[in-house]
A = this chain, B = another copy of it.
Amino acid sequence: MAETLCCINPGLYVGSRINHSRPLLKCRSGGGGMRRVVVVNMSLSHHHHHHNNQPYWAAINDQIQTHLKKVVTVKDPVSVFEPMHHLVFSSPPDTAPALCVAACDLVGGGGGGDLALAAAAALQVILAASFTHEYLPLSDRPSLMPRPGPGPIGHHAFGPNVELLTGDGMVPFGLELVAKSDDPDQNNSDRILRVIVEITRAVGSLGVVDGQYSELQCSQLEGNGSWHMDLINNTCEKKEGGLHACAAACGAILGGGSEEEIEKLRRFGLYVGMIQGTLLRYLPEKRSIRVEELRNLALKELEGFDEANVKAISSFIEGNLSRV
């Protein structure tokens, strides 16, 4: 069985770039605050994960990668786009973009497939920006969280100045990918603007940035009291939870889902994202109960959708659960 072992920091993981069959992480508890993650190369191990619906997610991730390769190229000015290209394609894969496309499928697509792909690619670019800044070496203060290493994350191909600037360029670039996917003839500008607000909220001050603050405060706390748990839960809710909630809601919006479908898929995304966060941050002994709770909540949100399509998207949870 082909396995890639790597150190991991809360909230973010690294895997082989060849692995397109996310969400397929195995998480094992490690020493200290650090956990080790085994990224399973599904194409070699699908007999262990027959619930994972691997071809479905692999196809979606292939589409997203193809789209990303088309829109993120090394063009002029090369000094800007070379590091951006590197950072986008060397950042760890994330499962949120695929959920965006799957949510669009679930509500029937409604001609929104290309828009969902554009939004998924944008999310991947913006997540790469967030990852880049999260691991930027800063002076004067300790890092936001312990730097991972040795290993792929520990290596910086560019200096911190270039990483900082490139990260700054990537967020607007990602949002531009969404805004440009507008086709005035299709009369879907309203949906696209709504998706832009969804993404800016999820990645901004009330979303990932809030989660990062919680994580920062958490890392400065001793003990494991109730305030500590509140911070961990807020981190899971705002980082993985918020991003998956956003991705699923965006897919549903672009696929023409009803308001009820959008909100159900948003909650589904929230819970499955929080499962990921829980697996990364909870102590092993407390993990199972919380995950089971979130899993049931997530599955409940899928009730009422077309059963054949539910099977595909619900396998997202099994992919997460195979980590416990």
Contact for A130 among B168, B197, B203, CB less than 8 A: B168
* Interface residues as binary, A196-231 with B (CB distance below 8 Å gives 1, 0 otherwise): 110111011110111011001100000000000000
A141 contacts chain B at the CB level, 8 A cutoff: yes
CB-based contact B210/A80 at 8 Å? yes
CB neighbours of A212 from chain B (8 A): 165
A204 and B182 in contact (CB under 8 A), knowing A141-B161, A159-B140, A216-B161?
Answer: no
Answer yes or no: A133 CB below 8 A from chain B CBs.
Answer: yes
- Asked if A5 is at the interface (CB within 8 A of a chain B CB), the reply is no
A17 in the interface, Cβ–Cβ < 8 Å?
Answer: no
A166 interface contact, C-beta 8 A: yes
Q: Is the CB of A205 within 8 A of B139?
A: no
A160 at the interface (CB under 8 A from B): yes
A312 contacts partner chain B, Cβ-Cβ < 8 Å: no
Q: Is the beta-carbon distance between B200 and A193 smaller than 8 angstroms? A: no
Whether A171 touches B173, Cβ cut-off 8 Å, given contacts A140-B160, A216-B161, is no
- Inter-chain contact A172/B175, CB cutoff 8 Å: yes
Q: Is A144 an interface residue (CB 8 A)?
A: yes
Interface string of A267-299 (1 = CB under 8 A from B): 000000000000000000000000000000000
Contact of A169 among B80, B81, B167, B209 (CB under 8 A): B209
Closest approach, in angstroms, between the C-beta of A250 and any C-beta of chain B? 13
Question: Which residues of chain B are near A144, meaning CB under 8 Å?
Answer: 161, 164-165
CA of A196 to CA of B182 in the docked complex: distance in angstroms? 12
Does A137 lie at the interface of the complex (its beta carbon under 8 Å from any beta carbon of B)?
yes
The residues in A between 146 and 197 inclusive whose CB is less than 8 angstroms from any CB of B are 159-162, 164-173, 175-176, 179-180, 182, 184, 189-190, 192-193, 196-197
A residues with a Cβ closer than 8 A to B are 77, 79-81, 84, 129-130, 133, 136-141, 143-144, 159-162, 164-173, 175-176, 179-180, 182, 184, 189-190, 192-193, 196-197, 199-201, 203-206, 208-210, 212-213, 216-217
Sort A-B residue pairs by CB-CB distance and give the 3 closest, nearest first.
A172-B200, A172-B204, A189-B189
Q: Could you show 11 A-B contacts with beta carbons less than 8 Å apart? A: A77-B205, A136-B164, A138-B160, A144-B164, A164-B164, A167-B168, A170-B204, A172-B201, A173-B200, A175-B196, A179-B200
